Amino acid sequence: MLLEKTFGFHPLTLEDIRHQNQRPKVDEYPGYAFVVLFTAELEGKRAQVREHHLYLSPQYLVSVHIEPSDPLNRLRERIKANPDLTRRSLPFLFYLVVDQLVDSLFPVLEQLDDATDELEDRIIDQPDTSALTELSDLKRTVVDLRKVLGAQRDVFQRLTTRAVGDPGDKEMSIYYRDVYDHLVRQYETVDSLRDLLTSAMDVYLSTVSNRLNLRITRLTVFATLFLPLTFVTGFFGMNFAWLVGHIAPAWTFWLLAVGVMVGTTALQLLYYRRSGWL
């Protein structure tokens, strides 16, 4: 009601505020500019994107956000400690706001970078399903941030050539260029994290495949050990009269049965160990 009746903002901007889920943008209306920007907070391994709406005119700067905004709270503390910051122009105050919002993403990206490094070590040591779940969450978070940062970078690329609020204020383009540089760094960081997570996924799949192959190799070795044993027991277990009559002495049992089976098993184990299968 305040935004509509007192300030007379355009209904399209009010609809954007009600519905949320916009994209970063700058729309100019008669007498003011409407800006949509995003920040993010890391909750666990997922980033919660926070939407901020700003109205800038030569007389006022209005910010609208549904959730509490820690970056703007920090800016209030900064202005309280240094009131001279508000004695310049409204476009400069707008720069302070957007700079604070953009810079608040750096700690989030650092946490994501640390989480990615820890995850890569875990995948090599113990590639279990929990690591795969965490990897998927991090990759989804990075993709979401990349979409936001790409659009915000385009917004400030436009602002570096044409300032809002006071088109004649050429000095503000320099400040917007500083914010644009921060966004380029953030976008490059997110791109790098996406590549790292893609590589981590490949490492996870390779590690799981290698461990599976190792288990299959060991199972194959154990199964192969029993092949000659099965042959010996099967051959001498046949109930032909000639065969039974010629293996009657006790030494034939120990030599032909037990000795052959033990010797064959020992030779196989020696061969497999030298081949690196055990």
Which of 108, 110, 120 is closest to 200 using CA atoms?
120
User: Does one domain contain both 35 and 67?
Assistant: yes
User: Does one domain contain both 207 and 227?
Assistant: no
CATH classification at residue 159: 1.20.58.340
User: Does one domain contain both 147 and 101?
Assistant: yes
**Digit-coded pLDDT (tens) for 66-99:** 888 888 888 888 888 887 777 677 888 888 999 9
User: Does one domain contain both 260 and 126?
Assistant: no
Residue 166, token pair as written in the block: 């006071």
The Cα–Cα gap between 123 and 212 comes to 15
The total of structural domains in the chain comes to 2
User: Does one domain contain both 222 and 94?
Assistant: no
**Digit-coded pLDDT (tens) for 99-136:** 999 999 999 999 988 888 888 888 888 777 888 888 88
Model-level pTM? 0.73
User: Does one domain contain both 228 and 159?
Assistant: no
Beta strand 32-43 pairing with 25-29: antiparallel
User: Does one domain contain both 196 and 263?
Assistant: no
95 Cβ contact partners less than 8 Å away, ≥ 6 residues apart: 172, 175, 176, 179
Q: How far apart are the first and last CA of the chain?
A: 76
Confidence of residue 167 (pLDDT cuts 50, 70, 90): very low
Where does a domain end: 211, 235, 261?
211
User: Does one domain contain both 222 and 188?
Assistant: no
Domain, as residue range, for 78: 2-211
User: Does one domain contain both 41 and 167?
Assistant: yes
- CA distances (Å), 216 to each of 65, 123, 167, 265, 275, in order? 57, 21, 70, 19, 15
User: Does one domain contain both 198 and 111?
Assistant: yes
| Amino acid 256: pLDDT | 66
